[in-house]
Amino acid sequence: MKLKTIGNSTIKTPPIMFGGNVFGWTLEEKESFRMLDMLLERGFTFIDTADSYGRETGLSEKIIGKWMKDRKVRQEITLATKAGNVHTKQADGSIKRSRDNSPAYLEKCINNSLKRLQTDYVDLFYTHFDDEVTPIKAVLETYQKFIKAGKTRIIGASNFSESRLKEALKLAENSDLPNYEIFQTEYNLMERKEFESGLADLCKKHNVSTATYFSLASGFLTGKYRKKEDFEGTARQMLTEKYFNSKGKEVLKTLDQIAEEYSVSQAGVALAWILNRPNVTTCIASATKEKHLDAFDEALKLQLSTDEMELLNKASQY
């Protein structure tokens, strides 16, 4: 599998990273271990997680950490985690969501993440969400301490506005503070506008790699959900129902057409489209069954023609 270099670092990634949000959410520990085993066997060795993934804080990290220790494979895995997306359980059992990138909170987070992951370092540590309050300089100074202490090799930004990302990149460029080497953003056939309207060019200008999440639009682009009854009552209902419109139907129709032509899955075509888009370094995708991983292999092998890319671009235009 051909690897890609992240930003100006020495860290490399497969074209597809695995999204660890399924560990401790839709996959229990035993199932998660089996999925991780299969990923390692297939060469998808970059695992992307976060302290907020799982049914409880840090559950995804705990499962990954336990698996790496059990299999003795930490050195074979490239690992990313995130902080700043705060989930606080209320007295009534509900979850209050907020953001916190204060230096004290970030330090608490990385130490807790390393403990759960049972490792001395992560390869990549993300600001999960910009809280738009903490000065960017304070955040980068905190990350500089983490890098010097060997707690992370590089840093990344996720879900930043163009203006705040630009501010961070310029600050790093004009100082000795660390630079965000990778930017993680939502991007797929149903969600193109935000990334393509400025963020993509900004990343290109500063040689910042990009990783797309929700690459299959929370499962919509697999073709599994054709009518609202298909997802009602599922964990993905809130994430997919917004795509049931004329654009969504046209995108699925085009995916069906190309998938049939090549005898591959719709998911394979949707991922191949992302991997062939300009300014995309890698895409993040998840799976809950072994057969879902076949779409990863399909995407890597599929050579979409210029005409086919244009058909998908037209169907998904905004």
List, by residue number, the catalytic residues. Answer: 53
Per-residue H/E/C for 103-160: HHHHHHHHHHHHHHHCCCCEEEEEECCCCCCCCHHHHHHHHHHHHHCCCEEEEEEECC
Q: What sections of the chain are H helices per DSSP?
A: 29-42, 59-71, 103-117, 136-148, 162-173, 193-194, 200-205, 237-240, 246-262, 266-275, 290-301, 306-315
Query: 3-class SS at 186?
Result: strand
Query: 3-class SS at 91?
Result: coil
**Across the chain, which distance is largest between two alpha carbons, in Å?**
55
